[in-house]
Structure 1
Amino acid sequence: MCGIYGTTIPYKEQEVREKLKRTSFRGPDQMGLKTYQSILGKITFGHNRLSIIDLDSRSNQPLEYAKNIHIVFNGEIYNFKEIREILKKKGHSFSTTSDTEVICAAYLEYGEECVKHFNGMFAFVIFDATKQLLFGAKDRMGQKPFYYYLNGKDFEFSSQISSIALFNTNLTISRNSIQEYLAWSSVPSPHSIFNEIKKLEDGHSFTFDLQNGVFKEKQYWDIDYLNPPNYKGSFLSAQDHLEELLSDATRIRLFADVPVGVFLSGGVDSSLIAALATKSTSKKIKTFCVRFNEKGFNESHYAQQVADHLDTEHEVIDCDYKEGIDLLDNFSFYYDEPFADASAVPSMLLAKHTKKQVTVALSGDGGDEGFLGYHRYNWIDKINIFMKFPYPIRKQMTKLITSVPNYRFKVAANVIDSKDIEEAYLKTVFSPDQSWMSTPNSNPEFEELKYLMHNNKNIYERAANFDIKTYLNWDINQKVDRASMAYSLETRSPFLDYRIMEFAQTLPTSFKYKSGNQKRILKEILYKHVPKSIFDRPKAGFAMPFKVWFREDLKEFVLDQLSLENLNSIPGIKPEVISSMIESHMNGSWNHYPLIWKLLVLKQWLDKNGKGFSIQ
């Protein structure tokens, strides 16, 4: 796990070092910098290393292989040992025990198809001096970030946008991206907060021909979203096979030359990973969770029960508003783009304290998307009841429901007032009330809609596929990467093993969701290892008690930061409407904490990262 950088732009060496220094938290163990001569001129590669596998300096990057192959790589290839043995038989040799060399040898053997052999999370770029091209790729599930700037033959890439933005005078802040952020709470791929910088999408690779400046991007993997589930075996056989896959995915992610632990929230996903990790090693597993003092937000006692049963070395990390506000002060430094998932703050806190004991932590991310675990999948049942009524009748229902002064009723009315189930589902994803936006994003048009807008699968499967390509990619992966790398901690997610995602696509919906029982198959595997009684409770999210904090401890902070004068400096919003909504939150009549948090994050980013750039 590291930070990568590269450019064909002739920056001064000191400028490149400053770019690397800007994201040195991603890899504090070693900073590497090399310049190569190409037909285009100089190419510079840079790397901030977090040493995980083969701690020896021989594996430092940028790394050269077979004289003409040069690489910078961020991530892990979990099956690199198996690939290395195959490549040895084909005549390739290795001088390290790292996975970096394996990528290079696989590229020489398989060309651009090498990415299909890798099981891992990765973003890398290879300079092929013989072919005079750059070849790069991002992992199937999009866990590792990759930003790039392309202007003719000027090409610059990095793990984080801030490295590219530094000393680049050709950038403008995207007004459209701000609007997308206000709707999605993050900036969707392939866009970034800057018009001129793009994100390489999940499951994509690219080539950049240094002779003619031609950039070509292609998709090498995708979920099978058009074919309906086709698994023919029984529920029990599927359960056994899935447990084998999960056990192996967990086992290979425990391999490291540094200490490894597990995030344990006490929910189904993290508890299952902790249980399988415990079975996979003779060492005592270290587990970590966050505790809040506010009523309704503390789930740590459930994590403790799981830890006690599994006999892990468990640590509970306390979080209060003081540490929360300290993290907020540096939030935009690590997140680089406006990002409004409030669980990013406890994720940072968890990473900060976990890093004191381990360098790698396993998480349960991906279980909800792969196995229908989110609350909104349960809502589809309820929404479908209303969708059976003709639209004119639903329109009257909407008027009746909105007359009730309750936030939840307002959300429900907005969903019911939809032309079809697909539009209704989209309204559960977007902000239900966009009256405060100067340009509401009520009819979004984007590539990922194809995962939802077809009839080859039922609405549950289509909704989950849509979330994999949007929420998981644009939010969860970005949150986990930035929160963990802020403290030089590597996070690995067994559920995001592509083999598990592919198998989940084949399973009948009833194996994953039946009569309100979400993640059914995962629970049955879990109950083999941990008592079912611990999980007889509603699903809880990883949320901050901002609703309470904004009305009490952080009230003055919010009113100062989001004064009417400051609101007028934020693009894309209606300041007077928002000022009224903040007031209604403070007096307890409505819960507008998500909007308040979203605007606090945007204001901080504009104040700290947006100076010197025009908005276009």
Structure 2
Amino acid sequence: MCGIYGSTVRYDDDVIFQKLARADFRGPDYSGFEHSGLVTLGHNRLAIVDLDHRSDQPFTYNHLKIVFNGEIYNYKTLRVKLTALGYRFTTDSDTEVITAAFLEYGENCVNHFNGMFAFVIYNTITHQLFGARDRLGKKPFYYAHCGLDFEFASQPSQICIGRNVTLNEQAINEYFIWGYVPEPKSAWNEIQKLEAGHSFSFDCNTGIFRAKKYWELDLMHAEHYEGSYQEAQADLTRLITNAVDIRMHADVPLGVYLSGGIDSSLVASLAAKNFKNVKTFCIKFREKGFDESVFAAKIAAHLQTDHHTIECNKEEGLELIESFGRYYDEPFADSSAIPTLLLSKYTKKHVTVVLSGDGGDESFLGYSRYKWFSMVDQLFKCPLAVRKKLADIISISPNYRHKLIAIGICNPEIRSLYGLMLGGLEYSWLENPSIGLQVPFMDIWSSKSTSVLQKLSAFDTKTYLNGDINTKVDRGTMAFSLEARAPLMDHRVVSFAQNLPDSYKFKYGVQKRILKDILYQYAPAQLFDRPKSGFTMPLNHWFKNELKDHVMDNLSINELKNIPGINVQKSFDMINDHMSGKWNRATQIWKLLVFTQWLKNQSSNPISTYQVA
């Protein structure tokens, strides 16, 4: 787990030092760069496997040089195969295995990797770059390309140093809808994201850049699972057990995040089953309804793990909000990033690698919106005129959720409803919210051969899991030089889940049915007999009480005028509606707060004026 950097632009060395220093938290164990041929390659290393300096990067293997961020979990198996083919290795690292695999398999090497990764290989003979990002987008990859100039990095602010960049207002509009900037855009016009499941090639001689999709959730041609429920349960147990086991390998201390929910409890159970003295970590909130730490403690006691509980309060949360921009770079409005940062800060004192339960909700239909949406889907079979009349009746209710339903069913298409629902449905405070809904992956909804639940699962995997969850976890953990691994995001598990019948995942109102039945082999079912809480902060309460002054100071009329794409007066009225208790606008207020803070960070840290050498 590290930070990578590279450029065909020949900057002065002091500029390269600045660019690497900007992301030093991603890799504090070693930082270095070298000019090689037509490229400068740089790396910040967090040593996880083969701690010896022989595995520092940029790394050289024959005529190839590589910078790599992530982990290849099956590298030992690949190394045995490549050794049999005549390749020789001088380290015990997965970095060296990637380069040998590239020599043997070419661009198809990515299909041999099971892991999370963003890497770039430079061929010193042909002056070609080849790089890739993992299937589900666990690791970030930003780049800027103009003619012969090509620059890439783990954090976009590294690319910003030394060049002029401009705000991408459409991307900002998308941020206000989704809470993050969806790929392939970034917050700047000049910088893009390499999409998850994509590789690329760049010819340093001609400036030709080509991106290529090497993996996809293929709903149209998926091989649907035909075994019984019991057979599926056995097959999935083997898959997840292996996914956990291969992620428990590290040359540094390792632990597990244990929230008390189904997903993290399953990961912790399998880890504790096969490994001794497993450390587990959870976070505690003082506010009732947001704290699952007591359940996590009971599960940890049952599993006999070395358990640690960290308390989150608004004072420390506010402190982290102030430094939020340093780690997240782009506007990012998932408020659970704050407890993620806090949990990572304290977890790092004990371990360097942590396993999480991320990915379970998307693949196994865990979110409450899936249950709600499967019911609303029936209403969309009615004509729009009928739905509008029904909405008029429902909207009379003072209930907040009823009002959201009334707004939602007036959308002409169910796919538009889902995009809006993720962010709160009501966007009258934006000047043109329709722009923000024009994102990739909407073609998933046009599939005729899949159920609405399969579409929801695939869509969330390509959007929410990739753009939100992965961003939150990568930046939140790397802020404190901590590596996070997610067994339920093993691509084998994700593909298997997509091919399962809906009833294996959601039946008789029971969500994540098959995961729960696997978990109950290791932990008593009564420990999980409670409503799903989620890893969220009590913003609704805080904004009307402890943080009210903070909100009103930072989102005054004058401050709101600096934000592009919003209606200032309607936004201010929306904030007042929240403060009066008329409507819960915590999600929208948080988006505005984060963006205002991000704008201030941009103005207080202007782009460097260093010149290209």
- Band of TM-score, shorter chain: over 0.9
2:88 counterpart of 1:72: no
Alignment partner of 1:207 is 2:198? no
Are the aligned partners of 1:437 and 1:572 in contact in 2 as well (CA < 8 Å)? yes
* 1:569 aligned residue (550, 562, 577): 562
Offset at 1:471? Answer: 0.5
The reply to whether residue 226 of structure 1 matches residue 220 of structure 2 is yes
Is residue 461 of structure 2 the alignment partner of residue 468 of structure 1? yes
Q: 2:130 — aligned with what?
A: 135
2:408 pairs, out of 403, 409, 415, with: 415
Match of 1:164 in 2: 159
16-25 vs 430-439, greater mean Cα deviation: 430-439
Q: Which consecutive unaligned segments of at least 5 residues does structure 1 have?
A: none
Superposition map of 1:309-320 within 5 A:
309-320=302-313
SS in structure 2 of the partner of residue 73 of structure 1: strand
CA distance in 2, matches of 1:228, 1:80: 27
Q: Given that residues 260 and 299 in structure 2 are in contact (C-alpha distance below 8 angstroms), is that contact kept between their aligned partners in structure 1?
A: yes
Corresponding position of 2:58? 62
Q: Where do residues 246-285 of structure 1 align in structure 2 (5 Å cutoff)?
A: 246-281=240-275, 283-285=276-278
Conservation of the 8 A alpha-carbon contact between 2:173 and 2:435: no
- The one-letter amino acid paired with 1:148 is Y
In 1, Cα distance between equivalents of 2:601 and 2:423? 27
Residue range with higher mean Cα deviation, 564-573 or 447-456: 447-456
Shift of 1:517: 0.9
| TM-fit CA distance, 1:385 | 3.9
Match of 1:11 in 2: 11
Q: Work out the CA distance in 2 between the residues paired with 1:77 and 1:491.
A: 13
1:113 to 108, 120, 138: 108
1:183 counterpart = 2:177: yes
Distance 2:150 2:265 in 1: 44
Shift of the alpha carbon at 1:229? 5.5
For the Cα contact (< 8 Å) 1:128–1:134, is it kept in 2?
Answer: yes
Q: Distance in 2 between matches of 1:425 and 1:182?
A: 15
Specify whether residues 540 and 103 from structure 1 end up closer, same or farther in structure 2 by C-alpha distance, changes over 3 A only. Answer: same
| 2:584 corresponds to 1:591 | yes
Identify the residue that residue 283 of structure 2 maps to in structure 1: 290
In the alignment, which residue of structure 1 is the partner of 2:97? 102
Residue of 602, 606, 611 corresponding to 2:599: 606
The 1-side partners of 2:143 and 2:417 are apart by 35
Letter in 1 for 2:194: L
Question: Structure 1, residues 237-274: CA drift from partner, whole Å, max 9, x if none?
Answer: 11011000100000000100000000000000000000
**Does the alignment pair 1:377 with 2:385?**
no
Q: Distance in 2 between matches of 1:577 and 1:405?
A: 21
Deviates more, 1:70-79 or 1:570-579: 570-579
Distance 1:428 1:286, change over 3 A: same
- The whole-number CA distance in structure 2 between the counterparts of 1:228 and 1:251 is 27
The alpha-carbon deviation at position 442 of structure 1 amounts to 7.0
TM-score by length of structure 1 reads 0.97
In 1: Cα distance, 2:423 partner to 2:590 partner: 15
Q: 1:270 aligns to what SS in structure 2?
A: helix
Q: 1:256 to 1:443 in 2, by over 3 A?
A: closer
Cα displacement string for residues 444-482 of structure 1 (whole angstroms, at most 9, x for unaligned residues): 333311122221101100111011111011111111100
- Alpha-carbon distance in 1 for matches of 2:419, 2:587: 18
- Give me the whole-angstrom Cα distance separating, in 1, the residues matched to 2:358 and 2:267: 10
**Residue pair 2:284, 2:312 contacting (<8 A) in 1 also:** yes
Q: For the residues of structure 1 that align with 2:306 and 2:456, how far apart are their CA atoms?
A: 38
Overall identity of the aligned pairs, in %: 50
Which residue matches 1:31?
A: 31
CA separation in 1, counterparts of 2:447 and 2:226? 23
SS at match of 1:121: strand
What amino acid is aligned across from residue 146 of structure 1 in structure 2? F
Name the structure 1 match of 2:430. 437
Tell me the SS of whatever aligns to 2:122: strand
**Larger deviation, residues 107-116 vs 447-456:** 447-456
- One-letter amino acid of the structure 1 residue matched with residue 356 of structure 2: S
Q: Deviations over 1:365-405 (max 9, x none)?
A: 00011111111110123203433443322211111222334
Would you say the 8 A contact 1:422–1:453 is kept in 2?
Answer: no
- Asked if 1:362 corresponds to 2:352, the answer is no
CA distance in 2, matches of 1:320, 1:192: 32
TM-score of the superposed pair, with normalisation by structure 2? 0.97
Distance 2:109 2:47 in 1: 24
- More moved, 586-595 vs 355-364: 586-595
Which residue does the alignment assign to 1:47? 43
- Sort the Cα spacing of 1:125 and 1:442 in 2 relative to 1 into closer, same or farther, 3 A: closer
Distance 1:468 1:489, change over 3 A: same
Counterpart CA distance in 2 for 1:10 and 1:388 is 59
SS at match of 1:135: strand
For 1:426 and 1:186, the matched residues in 2 are separated by 13
Contact 1:229-1:505 within 8 A present in 2 as well: no
| Paired residue type of 1:127 | Y
Contact 1:227 1:456 in 2 (8 A): no
How far 1:152 moved relative to its partner? Answer: 0.5
Once residues 450 and 356 of structure 1 are traced to their aligned partners in structure 2, the CA distance between those partners, rounded to angstroms, is 44
**Hey, what's the Cα distance between the residues in 1 that align with 2:495 and 2:31?**
37
Q: Secondary structure at the match of 2:552?
A: helix
Distance in 2 between residues matched to 1:49 and 1:165, nearest whole Å: 21
Q: Is contact 1:228–1:457 with CA below 8 Å preserved after alignment?
A: no
What letter corresponds to residue 62 of structure 1 in structure 2?
A: P
Once residues 469 and 122 of structure 2 are traced to their aligned partners in structure 1, the CA distance between those partners, rounded to angstroms, is 31
Cα deviations by residue, 1:494-515 (Å, 9 ceiling, x for unpaired): 0111111111122111111112
AA of the residue aligned to 1:46: G
Residue in 2 aligned with 1:243?
237
The aligned amino acid for 1:392 is A
Could you tell me how far 1:610 is from its partner in structure 2? 4.9
Question: Which residue number in structure 2 is paired with residue 543 of structure 1?
Answer: 536
Distance 1:505 1:610 in 2: 44
CA distance in 1, matches of 2:374, 2:6: 49
Matched residues in 1 for 2:273 and 2:482: separation? 23
Match status 1:493 vs 2:493: no
1:299-338 mapped onto 2 (5 Å cutoff): 299-338=292-331
Classify the secondary structure of the residue corresponding to 2:446.
coil
Residue matched to 2:610: none
CA–CA distance in structure 1, aligned partners of residues 396 and 551 of structure 2? 30
**8 A Cα contact 1:250 1:494, kept in partner:** yes
SS in 1 for 2:256: strand
Select the residue among 147, 158, 162 that pairs with 1:152: 147
Q: Which residue of 2 aligns with 1:521?
A: 514
Residues 247 and 280, structure 1, Cα contact 8 Å, conserved in 2: no
Q: Structure 2 counterpart of 1:53, which letter?
A: V
Q: What is the SS of the residue equivalent to 2:120?
A: strand
2: CA distance, partners of 1:390 / 1:569 = 41
Partners of 1:548 and 1:269 in 2: CA distance = 27
CA contact (8 A) 1:184 1:431 kept: no
Farther-moved stretch of structure 1 (383-392 vs 492-501): 383-392
TM-aligned CA deviation for residue 36 of structure 1: 0.5
Q: CA deviation at 1:213?
A: 0.9
**In 1, Cα distance between the equivalents of 2:212 and 2:223?**
26
The alignment status of 1:91 with 2:86, answered yes or no, reads yes
Secondary structure of the structure 1 residue equivalent to 2:242: helix
Q: Is 2:575–2:589's contact at 8 Å kept on the other side of the alignment?
A: yes
Q: State the Cα deviation string for residues 142-191 of structure 1 (Å, max 9, x = none).
A: 1000000001000000001010011112x111111111111111000000
Give the root-mean-square deviation of aligned CA atoms. Answer: 1.3
The farther-off stretch of 344-353 and 444-453 is 444-453
User: 3-state SS of the aligned residue for 2:441?
Assistant: helix
